[in-house]
Amino acid sequence: EVTKHLDPKWAEDNNLLQIEKKLFKHGENSGHNRKQAVGALVHALITSAELKLNEKFEEPLLGWNAVLPEEPLQFLKSLKETVSRHVIQLNTVQAATYRGRKVVLSLFETLSSEAEMLLPSSFQILWKEAKSVRDQNRIVCDYIAGMTDQYANRFYERLFLPGHG
């Protein structure tokens, strides 16, 4: 599906003609082959990038942008669409995304309203010193942003699920 959007010349120049087999082949060394294929894709896209100067910037360093020529750009767009359709839109992935959103929002609401009781002492100090509710919310956001997924889930379970406290 993705390879039909591969420009043959660009694919050959970047050793990508067999990429689909390497990405989706099952069996011995399939994990290694997939890792090698992803590495080859990343390498091909990075080495295809070109620098273009945007003259609108006064500072020369800020004016440079990395852009992809048409062939790799079309391939990248096709790859993104395929990943979205076959991975991101899977109901299992969507369910995990929904659950993650619910965990983060529940933690934010609870920590915002019970900060003095539930935040670690270092964050409690910052929260108390905050000059506005907006600043306090920012501190709660920073605390949640620093959590790993596993820690956020455990914290959520301790707060909301019986028998996990």
For the chain, domain boundaries: 3-89, 92-160
pLDDT tens-place string over residues 137-164: 999 999 999 999 999 999 999 999 988 7
pLDDT at 134: 98
User: What's the confidence (pLDDT) of residue 123?
Assistant: 98
Mean of the per-residue pLDDT values of the chain: 91
Q: How far is the C-alpha of 141 from the C-alpha of 30, rounded, in Å?
A: 40
Segment 32-79, tens digit of pLDDT: 888 988 999 999 999 999 999 988 988 888 899 999 999 999 999 988
